[in-house]
Amino acid sequence: MLMSYDSFFAMWPKLLSGFLVTLELTLLTLAIGMAIALPVALARNSRSAPLRYAAGAFIFFFRGPPVLIQLYLIYYGAPEADWIRQSWAWVILRDPFACAIIAFSLNSAGFVAEILAGALRNVPPGEQQAAVAAGFAPSRVFWLVTLPHMARIALRSYGNEIVFVLKGTSVASLVTVIDLMGAARQIYFRTYDPFTPLIAAGCIYFVTVFLLMRVLRRVERRLAPELRIRAEAQVKWRPLSRTPKDAPSAGE
């Protein structure tokens, strides 16, 4: 039932190397996903209607279905086409890790594009107008005014997306990538201990998410002075008020 002490100690290096693969998958997915998502978000808010519809279709198509199907479609579907097997793309598509990265980043790009597009719409137009009035070139208005404010607004939703990507990478274990989830399953198949490896892997995921959320809260407070002010004001105001204990605080 439960594994021996020897296999318990032998288990950790395997989990750790799996965890590194998980981190690698997460970071690459986030980076590529962001690179795709930003242009899509801009297109989603663009003045040209075809661009807006194309961006909407992209978001619907990559966000709607489960990432597992998208991954299977690439991993099992691509080798069936001879023209893919004969092209340079085959070098990439025959590697399950690369297939996972492609599927995850397209899927995540759909979610991130929607987050960024929403954030872009919520940047107060007065700021951009002020920058234009001050004689900023359009590209500088975008990079120096719109983009930073968009980042602040999007940060909370984006933080949730990071957690979803981290959890979602576990699906890669279903196409033979040995990430943290895959390593835990391998250990289970070797030891027949259904609890220890999976719970250990679960703890690693949990601690990672927990630390990530703490860091994100820090970053958010640093980037959003208005939250800081409101939170401080609320602390001062609370003793006099009759708000219930668990009223949502400014940060929530």
Partner 1 sequence: MALLDLFAFGPGWGDELLAGFFVTLQLALSGYAVGTLLGLLAALGELSRFRLLSALLQGYALTLRSVPELLIIFLLYYGGATALNLLFQPLGLGRVEFSAFLAGLIALSLIQGAYASEVFRGAITAVPHGMSEAAKSLGLSPLAAAWTVTLPLALRYALPGLVNLWVVLIKTTALVSAIGVEDFVRTAATAGQNTKQYFVFFAAVLVAYLALSGLTMLLQARLSRRFYRHLDGARV
Sequence-ordered list of residues with C-beta below 8 angstroms from that of 11, at least 6 positions apart, any chain: 3, 187, 196, 197, 200
Sequence-ordered list of residues with C-beta below 8 angstroms from that of 161, at least 6 positions apart, any chain: 108, 111, 112, 115
Q: In whole angstroms, what is the distance from residue 62 CA to residue 73 CA? A: 12
Q: Which x/- pattern, by CB under 8 A, does the window 91-130 give for partner 1?
A: ----------------------------------------
CB of 225 to partner 1, least distance (A): 25
CB of 202 to partner 1, least distance (A): 5
CB of 21 to partner 1, least distance (A): 14
Sequence-ordered list of residues with C-beta below 8 angstroms from that of 234, at least 6 positions apart, any chain: 249, 250
Q: Which x/- pattern, by CB under 8 A, does the window 208-227 give for partner 1?
A: -xx-----------------
31 and 38 Cβ atoms separated by less than 8 Å: no
Enter the tokens of residue 123: 């940047």
DSSP 176: T
- Binding residue (CB under 8 A) for partner 1 from 194, 221, 225, 229: 194
CB of 163 to partner 1, least distance (A): 7
CB atoms within 10 A of CB 205: 19
Stretch that binds partner 1, among 11-19, 122-130, 145-153, 199-207 (CB under 8 A): 199-207
Q: Residue 25 or 40: which CB sits closer to partner 1?
A: 25
Enter the tokens of residue 49: 């209607």
Enumerate binding residues for partner 1 (CB under 8 A). 1, 60-61, 64-70, 72-73, 76-78, 80-81, 163, 167-171, 173-174, 181, 184-185, 188, 194-195, 198-199, 201-202, 205-206, 209-210, 242-244, 246-248
